[in-house]
Structure 1
Amino acid sequence: MRLRASSIGVYYQAFMLAPSRWRRVASWICGWLYVVGNITITLAVNFGTTLFFVSCINVFEDENGEGVFAGEPYQVYLIFLGITLLCNAVSALGNKWLPWLDTAAIFWTFSGLIAIVIVILVLAKEGRHDAKWVFTHFEPSSGWPDGWSFCVGLLHAGYATSSTGMIISMCEEVKEPSIQVPKAMVATIFINTFAGLLFLIPICFVLPDIQMLINLASGQPVPPILKSAVGSSGGAIGLLIPLMVLAILCGIGCTTAASRCTWAFARDGAIPGSKLWMQVNKSLDVPLNAMMLSMAIQLLLGLIYFGSSAAFNAFSGVGVICLTASYATPIAISLFTGRKQVKTGRFYLGPLGIVCNVIAIAWSLLALPLFCMPSMIPVEATTVNYAPVVFVGATLISGIWYWVWGYNNYAGPPTHTD
């Protein structure tokens, strides 16, 4: 009987698409990229939520016009710790309620966005920009040349869309995954595009001074923008609460996906200590050990914040790098082997598929070096991009483990059962 696609989908795809001689190595590399990408993107989501919460608190100011919360590194880390523990607790203890949370998140997103858009456009306490300014004004301030500055700014767009493929990690928990998962991935792109434009365009119409936003210590511009638009701290926090709840829901979803792909890769013996991480907690019906491993790695990497205030860019950068590379691996294998294996698929696109493959690979070749760059120059000790360091470290671990154990023992993902 044929198994459904693995919870670590792109790794399964790489194995099935690659020539038999290379399929073990291809799936090993792809799988490690995907696992590291899922864990670090989850870390970036929860760490970004932490910084966002700090900025939300600081819409309230003291008599000197300073935010009421200092946000010292240890305070930031403790909030990050709390958010990470909360997301893991909900994912582990509320497994049967997760589909309801996902559905609720969709309605919550649009209701919150509509409320924000209406309020800021109606009030606009500091005025509104005209359409020409919103759609044509470009103001580089990163120190990079104009064109490259624009490209470096794509990190956040890449970060926002890179987790789309994490849907594959839920393959073994849905009915008819070969149909439902692709539909969900495509629908996510359209929903994200619509919701993103619905949010960003009105925000641009009420933007305050850009230089002030750039100099924010928190690096989180949305709370100050909303405060300037509504003219009060209370009104701003009222509009921010839907975004704060949505950020937690996003963290729960990413935590769940990261645990599933970690479990699946461990199940196939590709992670050191796999016998421990592959166990499923029968009472909770979740891979609790794999979830705790993912959480422990996130908390350890979070310590980078004590050495670099640009840690969030490092976390999101390495997540985008690893996920982009993992997504590109089966696409490249399929393209360079003549796309023979996908011709019998349910969503075969013919010549259009070749165009999509080429565009995807071209974007990947741009994104991989791009997201290793520091966000601003000149580079200082606190603004170093640690993404390449984490990426190289994970690559070394995977390479050493393949040499020590994988070459003689790793057979790839299961493709059938007796």
Structure 2
Amino acid sequence: MASNPSDEQLAKAEDADMLAKLGYAQELKRNFSKFEVLGIAFAIMGLLPSIASTLAFSIPAGPVGMVWGWFIASGCIFIVGVAMADLGSAMPTAGGLYWWTHYFASPRYKNPLSFLVGYSNTLGLVGGLCSIDYGFALMLISVVVLATDGEFVPTNGIIYCVFMGCVLSHAIVVTFASKIMGKLQTVFTVANLLLIAATFIVLPVGRRNERNSASYIFTETANLTGWPTGWAFFLAWLSPIWTIGAFDSCVHISEEAKNATKAVPWGIMGSIGLCWSLGFLCCIVIAGCMSTDLEGLLTTPFGQPMAQIYYDAVGKNGAIAMMTLLFLTQWLMGVSILVAASRQSWAFSRDGALPFSSFFNHISKRFGYIPLRTVWGCAILACVLGLLCLIATAAASALFSLCVAGNNLAWFMPIFARIVWGREKFVPGPFYTGRFSIPIAIAACVFLVFSTLLAMMPAAGPSVDKASMNYTILINGCLWGGALAYYFIDARKWFTGPKITIDAAQLSEEQEKKMLEDGMVDVKRDSTVGEGKDEKLDV
């Protein structure tokens, strides 16, 4: 077991005590304030760049799909966030989702389900990094296309090179800026807000003589898919589902958060709430200022509908300036999600579940008490997965599906396990929704199942070919099936769930008392301690 001699330098006593109750020594430095925890989730969501990257999902349903689809789906996502906030306040740890699953699930299922959730969450976050950086590559290239008046035609190889350069640049920043990473989240949040403010000014002013009516914005429907109109409206929900999909980063950063039991729920609900409200306004402004030729927006030669919307409003130079701000903000998103992905990967390695765990669970003191090896491991894995964009657009879309469906399963399972098996085991933290907690959790599970099925539907319609097929079921089926196969073939022999890294010999009497009273870990001191016998901790 790891000793814990540096709690005083890394965290305040109450945070170290809370983590000790979960069985873990404090190994990461708590640099993130309450606002910075919110900031990392909001920065990853990157509201306007994410909306721009997913307009292809919302525009086919018309303004109603874009505006009201955003509002309704965001409200459903907020319910999921509240259910997770209940758990995050009670048990804040970097590997929270698979830890909670193991804690709440029945003894028969806890190990395989925890293993499945850990892999789904880890690869889902890396998939999120891939999809964000792939979106960055497309946006940057759209600026080049704009600047050359469409003469530059990018190949899949060029797109991949831009993507790979973006990923590696993130790894470098996360490595060398670790000591100020918390403060950078505030900078990233401000950058996102400034971009939104600029768009709120630029689009209405640029389109002042061609703005759409309120009736068009709030009541005009369309259907540019092969699905019925009602289902096309639901498919527009994929824009907020992908955008507001990083709130679990607050959980993964919890061991670096000050006063984590309050900071984690604050970060989850605050980031979702900001995106819900500001995103609704963004969609209204875009719907009010975009061309009514929806097919023209989707097939724009610039490759990005948002580039065409800016171009129509402020011309070539203005569009280049706004798209540059957009892709720079998208780049900031990638920095933050790499932080979250590396912390989840490190936590899963700490519990011995990932291949080469003994290598990846190392903490680099030289670079500011960060899991440096998982930072680069996630970056390299993202570069490998990004090779899909060399194949075709449909294959590149698999990066999106890996993010949505993979994380949805990881969010669903601990909430579901708490409802079915763990009601009596749940000990509320400072944030708790009381008697509404279980109904909220049930509603969250229903929405997560629906949104996962939604992400598996071909966007163009039920008639598909290899180019328009949605490969979500294939990609995530391989992920989930592979994780379970790995568990039952080999990992069941050695994976027993979260490990205990706290050393009983390092506990103060106060820590031990707290752990015995309301902790998840039971301290058992051998009666012969002092005579050469070890002290131990049991889950």
Report the alpha carbon displacement of residue 343 of structure 1 after superposing the two structures with TM: 4.8
Q: 2:468 aligns with which of 364, 383, 396?
A: 383
**Could you tell me whether the CA contact under 8 Å between 1:318 and 1:371 is conserved in 2?**
no
Structure 1 partner of 2:81: none
Match of 2:532 in 1: none
Instruction: Write the deviation string for residues 371-403 of structure 1: whole angstroms up to 9, x where unpaired.
Output: 112221332322332222221222233123212
Whole-angstrom distance in 2 between the partners of 1:380 and 1:338: 44
Question: Which of 174, 198, 203 is residue 281 of structure 2 equivalent to?
Answer: 198
CA distance in 2, matches of 1:397, 1:290: 21
SS in 2 for 1:342: coil
Verify: 1:397 aligned to 2:482, yes or no.
yes
Q: Does 1:355 align with 2:439?
A: yes
Taking the aligned partners of 1:339 and 1:61, their CA distance within structure 2 comes to: 61
Match of 1:408 in 2: 493
CA distance in 1, matches of 2:106, 2:181: 38
Q: CA deviation at 1:121?
A: 0.6
1:43 and 2:130 correspond: yes
1:270 is paired with a residue whose SS is: coil
User: What secondary structure sits across from 1:290 in the alignment?
Assistant: helix
What is the match of residue 130 of structure 1? Answer: 213
Query: Is structure 2 residue 96 aligned with structure 1 residue 9?
Result: yes
Residue number among 223, 244, 260 corresponding to 2:343 in the alignment: 260
Amino acid at match of 2:206: L
Tell me, yes or no, if the aligned pair for 2:457 and 2:470 is still in contact at 8 Å.
Answer: yes
CA distance in 1, matches of 2:146, 2:472: 31
Question: Map of 1:88-107 to 2, 5 A cutoff?
Answer: 88-107=171-190
Which of 117, 127, 139 is the equivalent residue of 2:222? 139
Give 1:126 deviation, angstroms.
6.4
Asked whether the equivalents of residues 51 and 218 of structure 1 are also in contact (C-alpha less than 8 Å), the reply is no
Contact 1:42 1:251 in 2 (8 A): yes
- CA-to-aligned-CA distance 1:101-132 (integer Å, 9 cap, x gap): 21011211112211211121122166111001
The correspondence of residues 25-36 of structure 1 with structure 2, limited to 5 A, is: 25-36=112-123
TM-superposition CA deviations, 1:192-225 (whole Å, max 9, x none): 1222123221111111121111223665211110
* 2:330 partner letter: A
The alignment partner of 1:380 has SS state of: coil
Give, in whole Å, the separation in 2 of the partners of 1:61 and 1:416.
57
1:326 Cα offset (Å) = 0.8
2:377 is aligned, of 274, 293, 296, to: 293
Match of 2:242 in 1: 159
Inter-CA distance 281–68: structure 2 relative to 1 (3 Å threshold) = farther
The equivalent residue for 2:193 is 110
Q: Which amino acid aligns with 1:145?
A: P
State the distance in 2 between where 1:348 and 1:272 align: 36
Alignment-derived partner of residue 403 in structure 2? 319
* Deviation readout 1:331-354 (Å, 9 max, x if unpaired): 111112362233533222123222
Write the distance in 2 (CA, Å) between the matches of 1:288 and 1:409.
Answer: 26
When residues 137 and 312 of structure 1 are mapped into structure 2, their CA distance, relative to the original with a 3 A threshold, is: farther
Q: Give the SS at the match of 1:37.
A: helix
SS at match of 2:387: helix
Report the alpha carbon displacement of residue 47 of structure 1 after superposing the two structures with TM: 0.8
Match of 2:329 among 243, 246, 268: 246
**Distance in 2, Cα, partners of 1:388 & 1:218:** 30
| Count of aligned pairs between the two proteins | 413
Q: C-alpha distance in 2, partners of 1:136/1:11?
A: 43
Q: Does 2:154 align with 1:71? A: yes
Larger Rg: 2
Which of these residues, 63, 74, 86, is aligned with residue 169 of structure 2? 86
**What is the CA–CA distance in structure 1 between the aligned matches of 2:432 and 2:208, rounded to whole Å?**
51
Q: 1:2·1:416 contact (CA, 8 Å) conserved in 2?
A: no
| Cα distance in structure 2, aligned partners of 1:296 and 1:106 | 27
Amino acid at match of 1:127: E
* Contact 1:272-1:401 at 8 Å conserved across structures: no
One-letter amino acid matched to 1:37: G
What is the rounded CA distance, in whole Å, between the counterparts of 2:372 and 2:422 in structure 1?
40
Deviations 1:214-263 (A, max 9, x none): 22366521111011011x21112222333222111110000111111111
1:229 aligned partner: 313
Shift of 1:99: 1.3
Deviation at 1:405, TM superposition (A): 3.2
Do 2:398 and 2:471's aligned partners in 1 also have CA atoms closer than 8 Å? yes
Matched, 1:211 2:295: yes
Equivalent residues of 2:145, 2:302 under 8 A apart: no
Matched position secondary structure for 2:467: helix
List gaps (5 residues or longer) in structure 1: none
SS of the counterpart of 1:163?
coil
The residue matched to 2:147 in structure 1 has which SS?
A: coil
Which ranges in structure 2 are unaligned for 5 or more consecutive residues?
1-19, 25-91, 505-539
Aligned-residue offset at 1:273: 1.9
Change (3 A) 1:216 1:8: farther
In the alignment, the residues of structure 1 paired with residue 357 and residue 473 of structure 2 have an alpha-carbon distance, to the nearest angstrom, of: 26
- Counterpart of 2:120, as a letter, is L
Measure, in 1, the Cα distance between the counterparts of 2:130 and 2:208: 36
TM-superposed deviation, 1:407: 1.0
